[in-house]
């Protein structure tokens, strides 16, 4: 018993030395670990800093660099395209077409409006617009050669879609459909001042070629046009709508995706509101309205008399505003018409 007591006392004494040594080593190890961690994190910090500063430099580079390789164009051109149907003798400019051009004259005020067509139109509306110098006819054949795998476009719509993009590459400016009417069109000039492309939001699947704008040098425009030769699809909406959305994502830095134009009214579910009701569609603050009137078969406005007789609707208000060159209500400054093409993508 005594032995074991003295033995254990010795143990305790020994342990005390041991404890001292162990604690000493422990403290040394802890100090070393602290220094090690500190050094590692300082290294990591400096790595992170150098990565983030190089990212910032890159971002600065891309931001300071114009979105396309040139300065914004000094002049703004507006382009219409019209090809004569094969079975027609000529082309007449109709009242609704005339109103679209007038909406541009009043509310976009481009430096020049061009009609690219394979035949000069006729009719009193054409005579009035062209004699006043508001629109200029430029001859353009319906044919073009495709140099990619695709040698022929399947659908007549694709011919004018591709022609619109060809024209933007040649001239720059804005290309629109005849059923697009400018409202707060003046803002477009501002958007194209520091964005080399403007695309028109449709829905979450695809955009719309009712209105498109670009500098001649826009990378988005060139990539989009090229799609007709390399990833062309017979689905009529693919190259004009789906590819437009796709290139807007790829060139998100240079594009202004405009909202409340090609989806206001929306062709799938708001046409009745627009053509039969008043106050349902907030159209007075959009830069333009794509009416899709060919989809609304209930009536067709072919003259000022037709327009005045038409039942009340937002559509009628829009057309009368142009026909009578009415003053718009005060602008809603909170109106947002920009869509982030990358919204909803989880990076
Ligand atoms: C439309 O009205 C404005 C004044 O509100 C006028 O300055 C402009 O010249 C008119 N435009 C046309 C095409 O008549
Ligand atoms: C297009 O047609 C015109 C005649 O209208 C012809 O001179 C031209 O060579 C054709 N171009 C192509 C690419 O086929
Ligand atoms: C363009 O200008 C507007 C305001 O003037 C600004 O908010 C926007 O960030 C600019 N965009 C680019 C791509 O520089």
Distance of alpha carbon 169 from alpha carbon 17, whole angstroms: 87
Report pLDDT digits (tens) over 316-335. Answer: 999 999 999 999 999 999 99
Task: Give the torsion sign (CA, 41, 44, 49, 52).
Answer: negative
* Mean predicted confidence (pLDDT) in 12-41: 60
What pLDDT does residue 306 have? 96
Kindly state the average pLDDT of the residues 32-51. 56
- Strand order of the β-sheet with 338-339 is 136-139, 112-117, 77-82, 173-176, 208-214, 197-200, 255-258, 338-339
Of 27-41, 59-73, 85-99, the poorest mean pLDDT is in 59-73
Helices 95-107 and 124-131, interaxial angle, to 10°?
20
Exposed/middle/buried for residue 332 (C-beta within 10 Å: 0-12, 13-18, 19+): exposed
Measured by CA distance, the residue closest to atom 8 of ligand 1 is 106
For residues 133 and 117, give the distance between their C-alpha atoms in angstroms, rounded to a whole number. Answer: 17
335-342-254 Cα angle (round to 5): 80
Q: What is the pLDDT of residue 51?
A: 46
Which atom of ligand 3 approaches the CA of 67 most closely? 13
Evaluate if residue 6 carries a pLDDT over 60. Answer: no
What's the rounded Cα separation, in Å, for the pair 120 and 124? 13
Distance CA 169, CA 129 (A): 26
Identify the pLDDT of residue 39: 59
Question: What gap in Å lies between CA 316 and CA 281, rounded to an integer?
Answer: 12
Note the pLDDT of residue 289.
Answer: 98
Any idea which ligand is nearest the CA of 338?
Answer: 3
Q: Check pLDDT > 50 for residue 24.
A: yes
Task: Give the integer Cα–Cα distance in Å for 292 and 347.
Answer: 35
Ligand nearest to the CA of 67: 3
Ligand 1: atom nearest CA of 105 is 13
CA of 210 to the centre of ligand 3 (A): 24
Q: Are 220 and 248 in contact (CB under 8 A)?
A: yes
Residue 82 backbone dihedrals phi, psi, to 5 degrees: -150, 125
Contact indicator for 171, 215 with CB cutoff of 8 Å: no
Task: Reduce the secondary structure of 34-55 to three states and give it as a string.
Answer: HHHHHHHHHHHHHHHHHHHHHH
CA–CA dist 179, 181 (Å, integer)? 7
The CA-to-CA distance between both ends of the chain, in Å, stands at 74
User: pLDDT tens digit string along 71-99?
Assistant: 788 999 999 999 998 899 999 999 999 99
CB of 128 within 6 A of ligand 1: the answer is no
Query: pLDDT value at position 155?
Result: 86
Which residue has better confidence, 229 or 250?
250
Q: Per-residue pLDDT averaged across 126-151, rounded? A: 94
Give the Cα separation of 220 and 340 in Å (integer). Answer: 15
Per-residue pLDDT for 163 more than 80? yes
Taking the CA of residue 118 as reference, the ligand 2 atom at the shortest distance is: 5
- Of all protein residues, the one whose alpha carbon is nearest to atom 6 of ligand 3 is 194
Assess whether the C-beta atom of 245 lies below 6 angstroms from ligand 3: no
**Rounded distance between C-alpha atoms, residue 314 and residue 25, angstroms:** 85
Q: Which helix (H) or strand (E) holds 210?
A: strand 208-214
Q: What is the pLDDT of residues 264-285, one digit of tens each?
A: 999 888 999 999 999 999 999 9
Say how far apart CA 271 and CA 296 lie, in whole Å.
7
The pLDDT assigned to 242 comes to 96
User: pLDDT digit string (tens) for 177-227?
Assistant: 999 999 999 999 999 999 999 999 999 889 999 999 999 999 999 999 999
Nearest atom in ligand 2 to 144's CA: 13
- pLDDT at res. 23: 64
Q: How many whole angstroms separate alpha carbon 101 and alpha carbon 319?
A: 12
Q: Is the four-CA dihedral 118, 223, 258, 190 of positive or negative sign?
A: negative
CB of residue 144 inside a 6 A radius of ligand 2: yes
C-alpha 79/C-alpha 292 separation (Å) is: 18
pLDDT for 145? 86
**pLDDT higher than threshold 60 for residue 44:** no
Question: What is residue 5's predicted lDDT score, i.e. its pLDDT?
Answer: 43
Question: Which of 65, 67, 68, 194 has the most ligand 3 atoms within 8 A of CB, as the residue to mutate?
Answer: 194
Q: Is the distance from CB of 102 to CB of 322 less than 8 angstroms? A: yes
CA of 83 to the centre of ligand 2 (A): 14
Going from the Cα of 73 to the center of ligand 3, the distance in angstroms, rounded, reads 16
| pLDDT averaged over every residue in the chain | 87
């Amino acid at each position: 018993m005594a032995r074991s007591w003295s033995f254990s006392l010795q143990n305790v004494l020994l342990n005390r030395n041991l404890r001292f040594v162990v604690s000493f080593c422990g403290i040394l190890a802890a100090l070393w670990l602290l220094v090690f961690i500190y050094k590692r994190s300082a290294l990591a910090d400096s790595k992170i800093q150098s990565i983030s500063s190089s990212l910032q430099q890159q971002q600065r580079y891309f931001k300071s660099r114009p979105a396309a390789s040139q300065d914004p164009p000094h002049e703004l051109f507006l382009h219409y395209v019209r090809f004569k149907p094969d079975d027609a003798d000529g082309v007449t400019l109709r009242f609704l077409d005339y109103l679209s051009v007038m909406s541009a004259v009043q509310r976009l005020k481009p430096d020049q409006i061009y009609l690219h067509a394979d035949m000069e139109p006729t009719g009193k509306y054409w005579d009035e617009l062209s004699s006043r110098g508001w629109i200029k006819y430029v001859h353009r054949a319906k044919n073009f050669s495709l140099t990619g795998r695709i040698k022929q476009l399947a659908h007549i719509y694709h011919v004018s879609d591709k022609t619109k993009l060809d024209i933007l590459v040649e001239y720059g400016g804005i290309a629109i459909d005849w059923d697009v009417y400018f409202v707060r069109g003046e803002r477009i000039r501002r958007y194209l001042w520091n964005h080399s492309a403007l695309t028109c939001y449709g829905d979450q699947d695809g955009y719309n070629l009712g209105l498109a704008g670009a500098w001649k040098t826009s990378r988005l425009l060139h990539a989009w046009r090229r799609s007709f030769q390399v990833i062309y699809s017979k689905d009529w909406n693919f190259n004009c709508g789906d590819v437009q959305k796709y290139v807007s994502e790829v060139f998100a830095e240079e594009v202004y995706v405009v909202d409340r134009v090609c989806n206001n009214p929306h062709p799938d579910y708001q046409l009745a509101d627009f053509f039969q009701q008043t106050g349902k569609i907030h159209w007075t603050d959009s830069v333009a309205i794509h009416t899709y009137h060919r989809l609304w078969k209930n009536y067709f406005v072919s003259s000022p008399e037709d327009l005045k007789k038409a039942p009340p609707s937002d559509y009628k208000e829009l057309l009368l505003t142009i026909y009578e060159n009415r003053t718009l209500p005060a602008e809603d400054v909170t109106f947002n018409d920009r869509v982030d093409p990358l919204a909803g993508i989880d990076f």
